[in-house]
Amino acid sequence: MESAVVTARDLARRSQAAAGVKDRATWLGLFADDAVVEDPIGPSPLCPDGLGHRGTEAIAGFYDTVIGQVERMRFEIERSYLCGDEVADVGTIHITMAGGHTVQVHGVFTYRSDGAGRLVALRAFWEFDSIVA
């Protein structure tokens, strides 16, 4: 019996669900050892050099300093485009910070699979200045 193919969209949904319930182990387990997280892409206070967080340790650090610090996170995906081993999701991340402050991050969120059920890239196109304005 053949096993079902895990698509980049499947991995994106798993990533979003794990982040939403703050399941650190599951979220980190989705990534290949040499994966990269660029969220947002380019230099920002979350990644001053703009090169992203590459490898298991750096991605765990990103989780701890970003996802791990929010109270709640919910993804609202308006459109999703699956092409080969990649998916681009267009939507909004609704974030509640500690203390109840809320922000909405509107953007395009891309996920690339290694074709064997692990993420090799999570890249988020959104404007950091738009959430601090």
Residue pLDDT, tens place only, 41-83: 999 999 999 999 999 999 999 999 999 999 999 999 999 999 9
pLDDT over 60 (residue 3): no
Distance CA 117, CA 46 (A): 27
Which domains does the chain possess?
Answer: 8-132 (3.10.450.50)
Give mean pLDDT, residues 26-35. 98
pLDDT over 90 (residue 131): no
114, 31 in Cβ contact below 8 A? no
pTM over 0.85: yes
Give mean pLDDT, residues 27-39. 98
> pLDDT of 87-121, one tens digit each?
999 999 999 998 899 999 999 999 999 999 999 99
Q: Specify the DSSP element, H or E, that contains 104.
A: strand 102-113
Task: Report CA-CA distances (Å) from 49 to 13, 21, 46, 128.
Answer: 28, 29, 9, 14
